[in-house]
Structure 1
């Protein structure tokens, strides 16, 4: 095999190698995007949705205790409920928040502090002053509702990112297959081609 033939083979193999490496790097980048998106959906959206649900349940129990003028709840169980809500808020704080979500979350924290203060006033008034407390619970629930809607929207965005990355991977995989077939044909032509001797 002459030098010219060896050079043709080396160039052909190098072209295939470069194409495979470049498409694999693109695929790797897209798979990282999909992985990050799935992790975000789970850690920052699904887990947060559960935290919101648990807070909502705890606040609903408070609301029910006020409606029934349940003094036993407010003297014995309310402190534990507030600790539980505080822990849920702390866990929520560890997640990645969007700009809008941060604003609503800060409102939620402030409303929770106000709620605790109004509950103390409610207990001191011998369970009579409940209008402001009901209003504060309503504001807290509105914050939870707003945060819940954000989870749905952000989850939808992350799913869209995943779909785009997967579509890109599929596109590049098809392009890679076509290029490899094309290069195989070219290499065959180069290898089979024998210049005519004069």
Structure 2
């Protein structure tokens, strides 16, 4: 058999190599896009969900401290700690606001801020009146705390739902990338065989 390739064989081999190149380029671009989607998903889960959940937990702890002080009618302790607790809560609220919020999350967050402001006004009235009636303080403050905890529960639930959604999307992207990779390997094998046939196939005379 003639070891030299004919012009026709060279053209066919060149065309096959171009096809391989375009296939590899296309799959690399798709893989790169899938990687970006997964990377963004992981960043979102950490920055907008795990950190957000930590901020909510810390807000909850600070609010609980306020509740213990108010419902024990310890006005002196409330006077000493209230400003510090409020500043701490505001810092956490500001950090939470800097995360990416969904529409429902924004509504629940606005409700939380409104109820915290209402609680602060109630506390200011207690400090002005120096109320020491434990039963009245418990009854009067309970609705404020119930509203705040209701908002926090809603926000905690959203963190879980959004984390699950992002992780599910990332898993689907990874599965798609794996399927494309398997298809790519199969196509490359077929193209490799076709190249061999094109190179060594004798031209019809």
* TM-score tier (shorter): over 0.9
User: How far apart, CA to CA, are the structure 2 residues paired with 1:196 and 1:166?
Assistant: 47
Equivalent runs, 1:45-194 vs 2, <5 Å? 45-127=49-131, 128=133, 129-130=136-137, 131-194=139-202
Check the 8 A contact 1:108/1:140 in 2, yes or no.
yes
Structure 1's consecutive aligned runs of 4 or more residues displaced over 3 angstroms after TM superposition are: none
Q: 1:29 offset after TM fit, Å?
A: 1.0
Q: How far did 1:3 drift?
A: 2.1
Over residues 111-161 of structure 1, what are the superposed CA-to-partner deviations in whole Å (9 max), with x where a residue is unaligned?
A: 111111010112223233523322111111111111000000000000001
Q: Report how many aligned residue pairs link the two structures.
A: 197
Question: Is the 8 Å Cα contact of residues 66 and 82 (structure 2) preserved in structure 1?
Answer: yes
Q: Which structure 1 residue ranges, 5 or more long, are not aligned? A: none
Cα distance between partner residues in 1 of 2:111 and 2:127: 24
Q: Does 2:15 match 1:22? A: no
* In 2: Cα distance, 1:36 partner to 1:182 partner: 35
Residues in 1 aligned to 2:171 and 2:77: alpha-carbon distance in whole angstroms: 48
Q: Greater CA deviation, 61-70 or 145-154? A: 61-70
How big is the alpha-carbon RMSD for the aligned residues of Structure 1 and Structure 2? Answer: 1.2
Write the deviation string for residues 84-125 of structure 1: whole angstroms up to 9, x where unpaired: 101111111111100100000000111111111010112223
Question: Deviation of residue 66 (structure 1)?
Answer: 2.0
| Distance in 2 (alpha carbons) for counterparts of 1:145 and 1:196 | 77
Q: Which residue of 2 aligns with 1:39?
A: 43
TM-score w.r.t. the length of structure 2 is 0.92
Taking structure 1 as the reference length, the TM-score comes to 0.95
Give the Cα separation in 1 of the matches to 2:190 and 2:10: 20
Tell me the distance in 1 between the aligned counterparts of 2:117 and 2:67: 16
**In the alignment, is residue 9 of structure 1 matched against residue 17 of structure 2?**
no
